[in-house]
Amino acid sequence: MTAPLRLGIAGLGTVGVGVVKIIRQKANLLSLRTGRPVVITAVSARSKDKDRGVNLSEYAWEDDPVKLATRDDVDVFVELMGGSDGPAKAATEAAIAAGKDVVTANKAMLAEHGQNLAEAAEAAGKVIRFEAAVAGGIPVVKSLTEGLAGNDMTRVMGVMNGTCNYILTRMENAGLPYDEVFAEADALGYLEADPNLDVGGIDAGHKLSLLASIAYGTKVAFDAVELEGIGRITIEDIHQAADMGYRIKLLGVAQMTGRGLEQRMTPCLVPANSPLGQLEGGTNMVVLEGDNVGQIVLRGAGAGEGPTASAVMSDVIEIARGTRLTTFGQPASTLEDARPAKSATPAPYYLRMELSDKPGALAKVASVLGEAGVSIDRMRQYSHEAETAPVLIVTHKCTRQSLDEALLGLGSTGVVATDPVAIRIESV
């Protein structure tokens, strides 16, 4: 019989326990599908005595994940601790140096250090696989590196943080304000220990930067991702966008333009009848567009024990079968530095503002927009009882530079009572 593939698992939280369950419950199936047994030889976590609902007594225990990563009876180091630096990075580096393959769910570590880790792994003849780091159970990394490898990708976009999608859809469906739904999500345990990783777009931005690297053959450039969270989205924005046929999503978009690589993780309006517009709750969706294949839509659970452990196991199975892929779909030494471009592609925008209820106010707004090269497609003014009137404008396509010039000019008109809210409208 072919020798077993021996795993060392560092991190026994929700995902780590899910991986243990799959290996214990599906041992025969895994052996049939890979041609060899897949076994766990050692594990590591912060606390040995914690009750995790699975029996770990048959595995060797290491308090130090670095020691786990360098054990002679470990072939693949499975890193599920999280964190961009610290023990996760140290143990991953140690595993590569000791001649181990690596499977990780750590998007933060790869977004910050992916290039160096990929170069080290490839120099050692080892692989780093990270399907579980992006969109949970959705096989988007494999789709880009394998299924769509014959395409030049024209656009990669998606909803990649289930917590944000839960908050936005809950606000809309229940008619609740952001602060109330945020507190509800926190009480349900949906938020990271640092909630800004979710609602600030950082978690999803990490994922987008990894997909952009694969799609466009560039070094991971998380620092170049344009980030804006959902904290400024009001229930009024959600209702008024719906009134105009749109829904608001925290949407990641990466595309290569003549000016460089655009990467943005920002609130966007999408058509309500589009696949992204119909996405509810904590579900993720990734849309891939290639020159030959056209548009591919992948939808599924973006987090949780089962879906994420499933993604981890897909990488383990790949290694067990003998498949050896480079980290980002091509040799790390060939990845180019990404030339960042900030929202270079023209798009229509949704604008919301409060105007003073005085004659000529709308004319002044239209004039400022026109002088900046921003033309109006649709405009609505809602009934009001206060001294200011809520006004919505949907522009024709314009550059973000032109829009920013217009927004700056609106402040000097004397008729705009509050800072305008501007949200890009993305075609799907």
Catalytic residues: 207
At what angle are helices 361-371 and 400-410 packed, to 10 degrees? Answer: 140
User: How many Cβ atoms from other residues are within 10 Å of residue 267's Cβ?
Assistant: 23
> What burial class does residue 268 get, using C-beta atoms within 10 Å of its C-beta: 0-12 exposed, 13-18 middle, 19+ buried?
buried
**In the 3-class helix/strand/coil scheme, how is 276-316 assigned residue by residue?**
CCCCCCCEEEEEEEECCCEEEEEEEECCCHHHHHHHHHHHH
What tokens were used for 66?
Answer: 């670095």
| Cα–Cα distance for residue pair 109/114, rounded to 1 Å | 7
**Nearest CA among 186, 136, 129 for reference residue 161:** 136
Beta strands in 294-375 (DSSP E): 294-301, 349-356
Q: Going by C-beta distance under 8 Å and a sequence separation of 6 or more, which residues neighbour residue 248?
A: 168, 233, 237, 238, 241, 267, 268, 269, 423
- Angle subtended at Cα 184 by Cα 179 and Cα 189, rounded to the nearest 5 degrees: 125
CB 259: neighbour CB atoms within 10 A?
12
Strands (E), 130-207: 153-159
Backbone angles phi, psi at 152, to 5 degrees: -85, 120
Where does residue 59 rank: exposed (0-12), middle (13-18), buried (19+ CB within 10 A)?
middle
User: What's the DSSP call for residue 163?
Assistant: H
Question: Which residues make Cβ contacts (< 8 Å) with residue 220, sequence separation at least 6?
Answer: 110, 111, 114, 115, 209, 210, 212, 213, 328
